[in-house]
A and B are shown apart, each in its own frame.
Chain A
Amino acid sequence: MGRFTVGVDVGGTYTDVFALDEEAGGFVIAKVPSTRPDQSAGFHQGIAQAIGDWERLGSVVHGTTVGTNALLERKGGRVGLITTRGFRDVLEMRRRDRPTTWGLWGQFVPLVPRDLRLEVAERTLADGTVRTPIDPAEVVATARMLLDQGCEAIAIVFINAYADGGNERAAAAAIGARWPDVAVDLSSEILPEIREYERASTTAINAFLRPPVGRYLDRLEGRLRGERFPGDVLIVQSNGGVMDVATARRLPMRTALSGPAAGVIACAHIAAAAGFRNVVTCDMGGTSFDVSLIVDGTVALAAQTAIGFGMVVRSPMIEIETIGAGGGSIAWIDRGGLIQIGPESAGSDPGPACYGMGGTRPTVTDANVVLGRIDAERPIGGRLARLDTEAALAAIRTAVADPLGIAPLAGAEAIVRVANARMAGALRLMSVERGHDPRDFAAMPFGGGGALHVGALIKEVGLASALVPRFPGVASALGCVIADMRHDFVRTVNRLVDAIDYARLSRIMEETAAAGLAMLERSGTPLLGHDRHYELDMSYLGQTHTVAVPYRLDGDGPIGIDAARLTTAFEAAYRRSYGRLLQGIPVRVLNLRTAVIGRRPKLDLAALAPASDATVEGARRGGRRVFVDGAWHEAAVYARLDLPAGAAIGGPAVLEQPDATIFVDPDLRATVDPLGNLVVRRKEAP
């Protein structure tokens, strides 16, 4: 019996724990209700339930929604912003946008209210020249006003600080000399990248998240200290990598999308082990359906995201396309007589009509219950004893079937079809529309709900197959266990390829990577090795959108960057994106991006494989009627985890496991691969 590496994912409803026994290779899974407002209680209880003996806890990796919730609910620290005279409204003016194309009823409340955004005399020009230095006395007086108004953290955002952060550092030094304990975030450190609104927003969000994330980490560490746990705690970042607690306290904006990231990382690992290079992951929750892309084994990252209108976090994030179509999304008929799904959701209280807790409007889950795809007698999750099929049917009849003049069962099937179409749209957006051929991709559902719809999705989008991981419900916790450490950096260059000082650029590239390595070392986390990745945002002069150009190193040798190598790399990337190159137009480098990755030991997925003595007959759990394509079919029901490797189950069939239900359409076949994953394909497929 060895020590456990434990992944803990705190979701909206459940806290999932995946504990890996490092020596024996075994694992334990636990699922406990999430606790709010203090997530650390569920965190503590989940670990206790999984491993029992705290002595055996080796390290903890944690995906958290504390940062996301603080932003969504606006419950963060009281932040004061100090900025250049003339520019205190940058944060509120955004990029002059509006929330919806049609209708002019939008509203926006900035994270830092106007009276806590103060200006000082100072100015740096676009070329980095300091035109007006700061006056330390003015900065101190300004900071005093903010602190007097109860500010817990100060963000300093000066215009053009990406080009030279000297004034910001001088201002921070002046404040630090007077109030050494006040948290001060500098835009030139948080995000030294051109674009003042995005930089200001990211810096303000970081300052805003410091108190709630810091307090949460205190509670977390307090609980672990209470159990005399001396080891590491790592926190999952939005980029899918993990960081130590000290970094998380300093850069909490990196946790803005910590929650969903780990599941995608798990999928990437599982898909690679199962021999799938290209995957679209889909996570169906109660209110939303999240899609991410893994191409050639690599998770697609986005440069920024917005948590609600106008709250931009610019930091590499796992790219997630979200639509409001989850299991709890409500189906309704619009004024034009068309079925719509969401964005309104029944949530978990009152929940879908079938929960029998007062919900009367039909949801996607209600439709799945009525159609027999979800077993009303044994709902997953264990919170309810049974589901009320009659209530679900009544809700569908009233809200959908009667208005359309169709039978209630047809109404239920219509809800599922329209929901499938919306989910397929999100999948298509992430795959086909980025120039990928859907036949090269597999859909990979995780979370509790997605596996029910996966057959329809592969048919609608034209995907080759679906890959259902062995434990879809705990994929995020599993992802915590295997995620690498990662630190991302950006620097604006903004020079033509012919006008770059390559000796200086090489030095910056070396120094940035060294800073990342130092962060890896300071964390003290055991690592197998490390990698550095460079990427440059480049474009033809005159374009405002850039393409990401990977710059590959020859091993550990010198960086060796020059105009010729950079141009070659750019042209390859541009041709991939747009097909043809443009002639006679100079090429520009806008930003340098550096990622430093510390490789953590990987989980051998063989630990999850089915028992060697399992049989198909032993997994059979009878049958039940399922409504598909306008008729009832008799579907075989199996206990999914009891199926042996190599088992092939033709549809219609329902595969059940404690945390998920998988429906195999009549024209599909599911086979169990050696690692226990389920591969779903068309029956006629070779």
Chain B
Amino acid sequence: MDPITLAVLKGRLEQIADEMDATLFRSAFNPIIAEAHDASHGLYHAETGETLVQGKSGLPIFVGVMAFAVKAVIDKAARDGDLAEGDVYIFNDPYDGGTHLSDFKLVRPFFHRGRLFCHLASVGHWHDVGGNVPGNYNPVATECFQEGFYVPPVKLFVKGELRRDIVAILQANSRLPGSVYGDLAGQINALDLGARRLAALLDEAGTDTVAAALAELKARAAAMMRASIAELPDGTYSAEDWLDNDGVVDAPLRIGLDVTIAGGEMVLDFSRTAPACAGPVNISRSTAIASCYVALKHVFTDVPANSGVLEPVRIVIPEGSLLAVRAPKPVGGYTETILRVIDAVFVALSQAAPERVGAAAYGTINALSLAGHRRDGRRWVMFSFFGGGHGGHPGGDGLNHGNAPISTATIPPLEILEAAYPVAFKEWALRPDSGGPGRNRGGLGAIYEIELLEERADVFLFGERGRHPPPGVVGGSPAACNRFLFPADGGRREPPMTSKMVGLSLRRGQTVRLETPGGGGYGPADARDPERVAEDVRLGYVTATAALRDYHVTLDAAGHVDAAATATLRGKP
């Protein structure tokens, strides 16, 4: 196909997916979709389910995972043999479909002139899908049934007719049925719009031309990925990282990765990873593969986002691994595990390509919920994810207070939270000394301290990195660990599982405090220009104590570098 037509069609196809994203973001009810953009849309291959085109503003992790979700529907339709034009499937099965029960996937087989051309899909994180914990981050779940209700692929529309009984079942199982209804309507609107736009494009450009363009785009992405891998030196590069615990058993869980590069091919071998665990930090194989995709896309940013990216990559995950569980193993904390997988990929690849890979970001989602009843009896649930620092990288220091690599989410303004819930923030600030020391320092994590203004509330937290900090790369140092403090015995205490907490009862005037990790450092801390360290101290990103301890930089009373003392400390007089 001629490259000009291809470039034009690529833009048109991406625009369809982007527009589907925008439709849902604008009309969604729950802030996790509307503000945090925890949703995604795309076009998927008619027979294989492979990602053809994905919206740019959706959640990055879904880019990889939706291919599996669509394949689950393709298999279901093949088994049942009753696929018809106008059907739309809905489900939240996290094993075949990826991620966790909160993510509802809608798959619409798209027919053009009577023939199946591809699938359109929409996925969004619903506010509440039942289970033991409002918001569904249940850190002590041992089966998925404690995390929410479970829907296998079923038809939401049959030949264009909405099945209202299905909607009734979905609503009846949520603490927030209105939100379920609003988000579902938004996802249906997005699919309708995608179908209209795609039909117009096929009419205009021709089905065969568009199909050829899609095949060509995949081939080109695969070729680019091969070329990118081939630029790296052959060899095996290893990384090891740890989850603090699974929320049920207090023992660390290893993520072991060996990356082998040979010519234009790459193998990501997770054989050294811990076996499936009791608590909810397991993930399904589809989720694990999707997280590898995300990590690689962050390193090879110019490769287009389609299934071609993974073509030259083989991912090895043994049966029984933490990274390949089946029902009913709990998977509600999947975000923590995939962040760890991404960190491991960064650390391993930084050995092969130190000039293009940065250090680990803060690496925990910190799903915090405060829930209670107001004096008039109304239930309230404040549920939010919190930010942290990005890793130092070859181009400079890491970003302070960024979003997680798996997401493009923004955090709600604290004034919106205070207006909506009976809380007052005492602090919303950068956390000094939280960035990993390095030639290029990790970005800073944050401090959030929240006071309760009502009589009482229950607090739930699902976090990680309480004991194993985000690592540095290329000689850089790790960042600070995550820390959660709650009132106890007249003072403050950390939970026994460090960053996981269930059913803590908070009283009026009491506070909980979250201190999130920064990003890891890039390059040795001693290689950082002492003047940059002095500037960090002047601005309060780094304390004078840490400048001396971590960077071996001595400052005088006015904050100026003592060059002689620093050189001596750094061992190069």
B492 within 8 A of A: no
Determine whether the beta carbon of A93 is less than 8 Å from that of B416. Answer: no
A87 to B414, CA, bound (A): 10
On chain A, the residues within 8 Å of B185 by CB distance are 580, 582
On chain A, the residues within 8 Å of B189 by CB distance are 578-579
B47 within 8 A of A: no
Query: Which residue of A125, A126, A422, A585 is within 8 Å of B11 (Cβ)?
Result: A422
Determine whether the beta carbon of B539 is less than 8 Å from that of A97. Answer: no
What's the least CB distance linking A442 to chain B, in Å?
21
Determine whether the beta carbon of A542 is less than 8 Å from that of B413. Answer: no
What's the least CB distance linking B212 to chain A, in Å?
15
- Interface 1/0 per residue, A155-172 and B, CB below 8 Å: 000011010000000000
A532 to B409, CA, bound (A): 37
Query: Which residue of A89, A338, A578 is within 8 Å of B6 (Cβ)?
Result: A338
Q: Which of A5-13, A42-50, A190-198, A465-473 contacts B (4 or more CB under 8 A)?
A: A190-198
Determine whether the beta carbon of A339 is less than 8 Å from that of B4. Answer: yes
On chain A, the residues within 8 Å of B25 by CB distance are 545
Determine whether the beta carbon of B8 is less than 8 Å from that of A87. Answer: no
What's the least CB distance linking B228 to chain A, in Å?
8
B236 within 8 A of A: no
Q: Which residues A194-246 have CB closer than 8 A to chain B?
A: 194-198
A578 to B192, CA, bound (A): 12
A612 within 8 A of B: no
Determine whether the beta carbon of B4 is less than 8 Å from that of A418. Answer: yes
On chain B, the residues within 8 Å of A95 by CB distance are 410-411, 413
Determine whether the beta carbon of B7 is less than 8 Å from that of A421. Answer: yes
Query: Which residue of A87, A114, A339 is within 8 Å of B427 (Cβ)?
Result: A87
Determine whether the beta carbon of B413 is less than 8 Å from that of A578. Answer: no
Q: Which residues A447-489 have CB closer than 8 A to chain B?
A: none
Closest to A541 in B: B178
- Interface 1/0 per residue, B250-270 and A, CB below 8 Å: 000000000000000000000
On chain A, the residues within 8 Å of B178 by CB distance are 542, 584-585
What's the least CB distance linking B52 to chain A, in Å?
15
On chain A, the residues within 8 Å of B396 by CB distance are 105, 107
Determine whether the beta carbon of A544 is less than 8 Å from that of B540. Answer: no
On chain B, the residues within 8 Å of A335 by CB distance are 224, 227-228, 302
B372 within 8 A of A: no
A383 within 8 A of B: no
Query: Which residue of A87, A160, A404, A579 is within 8 Å of B428 (Cβ)?
Result: A87
Q: Which residues A583-598 have CB closer than 8 A to chain B?
A: 584-585
A107 to B412, CA, bound (A): 21
What's the least CB distance linking B227 to chain A, in Å?
6
Q: Which residues A281-337 have CB closer than 8 A to chain B?
A: 334-337
What's the least CB distance linking B254 to chain A, in Å?
24
Determine whether the beta carbon of B402 is less than 8 Å from that of A98. Answer: yes
A330 to B248, CA, bound (A): 57
What's the least CB distance linking B285 to chain A, in Å?
23
On chain A, the residues within 8 Å of B403 by CB distance are 96-98
Closest to A119 in B: B429
A115 to B540, CA, bound (A): 8
On chain B, the residues within 8 Å of A104 by CB distance are 298, 358, 361, 390-391, 393, 398-399, 402, 405
Determine whether the beta carbon of B179 is less than 8 Å from that of A125. Answer: no
On chain B, the residues within 8 Å of A340 by CB distance are 7
What's the least CB distance linking A227 to chain B, in Å?
47
- Interface 1/0 per residue, A115-130 and B, CB below 8 Å: 1000000010110000
A94 to B444, CA, bound (A): 13
Assess A196 versus B415: contact at CB under 8 Å? Given A104-B358, A540-B29: yes
Determine whether the beta carbon of B221 is less than 8 Å from that of A336. Answer: yes
A421 to B5, CA, bound (A): 10
B374 within 8 A of A: no
Assess A336 versus B26: contact at CB under 8 Å? Given A86-B429, A90-B428, A92-B401: no
Determine whether the beta carbon of B11 is less than 8 Å from that of A425. Answer: yes
Determine whether the beta carbon of A578 is less than 8 Å from that of B410. Answer: no
B174 within 8 A of A: no
On chain B, the residues within 8 Å of A96 by CB distance are 386-387, 401-403, 409-411
Query: Which residue of A89, A98, A113, A542 is within 8 Å of B430 (Cβ)?
Result: A89
Q: Which residues B413-427 have CB closer than 8 A to chain A?
A: 413-416, 418-419, 424-427
Determine whether the beta carbon of A545 is less than 8 Å from that of B402. Answer: no
Assess A428 versus B10: contact at CB under 8 Å? Given A93-B401, A96-B402, A106-B390: no
On chain B, the residues within 8 Å of A54 by CB distance are none
What's the least CB distance linking B185 to chain A, in Å?
8
Assess A418 versus B408: contact at CB under 8 Å? Given A95-B413, A101-B60, A582-B182: no
On chain A, the residues within 8 Å of B387 by CB distance are 93, 96
B304 within 8 A of A: yes
A104 to B399, CA, bound (A): 8
Assess A160 versus B415: contact at CB under 8 Å? Given A104-B391, A107-B397, A585-B178: yes
Closest to A574 in B: B27
Determine whether the beta carbon of A89 is less than 8 Å from that of B428. Answer: yes
What's the least CB distance linking A656 to chain B, in Å?
28
Query: Which residue of A88, A123, A195, A545 is within 8 Å of B416 (Cβ)?
Result: A195
A101 to B62, CA, bound (A): 13
Determine whether the beta carbon of B401 is less than 8 Å from that of A414. Answer: no
On chain A, the residues within 8 Å of B408 by CB distance are 97-98, 101
Q: Which of B30-38, B456-464, B471-479, B564-572 contacts A (4 or more CB under 8 A)?
A: B30-38
Determine whether the beta carbon of B413 is less than 8 Å from that of A113. Answer: no
A423 to B282, CA, bound (A): 46
What's the least CB distance linking A110 to chain B, in Å?
9
A542 to B31, CA, bound (A): 8
A433 within 8 A of B: yes
What's the least CB distance linking A566 to chain B, in Å?
20
- Interface 1/0 per residue, B14-29 and A, CB below 8 Å: 0100010010011111
Closest to B296 in A: A102
What's the least CB distance linking B209 to chain A, in Å?
15
What's the least CB distance linking B263 to chain A, in Å?
17
Assess A337 versus B3: contact at CB under 8 Å? Given A95-B410, A96-B401, A101-B60: yes
On chain B, the residues within 8 Å of A90 by CB distance are 428
On chain B, the residues within 8 Å of A425 by CB distance are 11-12, 15
A508 within 8 A of B: no
Determine whether the beta carbon of A102 is less than 8 Å from that of B220. Answer: no
What's the least CB distance linking A96 to chain B, in Å?
4
Assess A106 versus B416: contact at CB under 8 Å? Given A86-B429, A96-B410: no
Determine whether the beta carbon of A540 is less than 8 Å from that of B414. Answer: no
Closest to A100 in B: B301
Q: Which residues A341-376 have CB closer than 8 A to chain B?
A: none
A421 to B4, CA, bound (A): 10
Could you pull out 21 A-B pairs where Cβ atoms are within 8 angstroms? Answer: A89-B401, A92-B401, A95-B413, A97-B410, A102-B297, A103-B298, A108-B400, A159-B414, A159-B415, A196-B413, A196-B415, A335-B227, A335-B228, A340-B7, A418-B4, A542-B29, A542-B30, A543-B29, A544-B35, A577-B27, A585-B182
The 5 closest A-B pairs by CB, nearest first: A96-B387, A86-B427, A95-B410, A336-B220, A126-B418
Q: A421-B8, A582-B185 are in contact. List 8 more A-B contacts (CB 8 A).
A: A93-B400, A96-B386, A115-B538, A126-B424, A131-B424, A335-B227, A339-B4, A425-B15
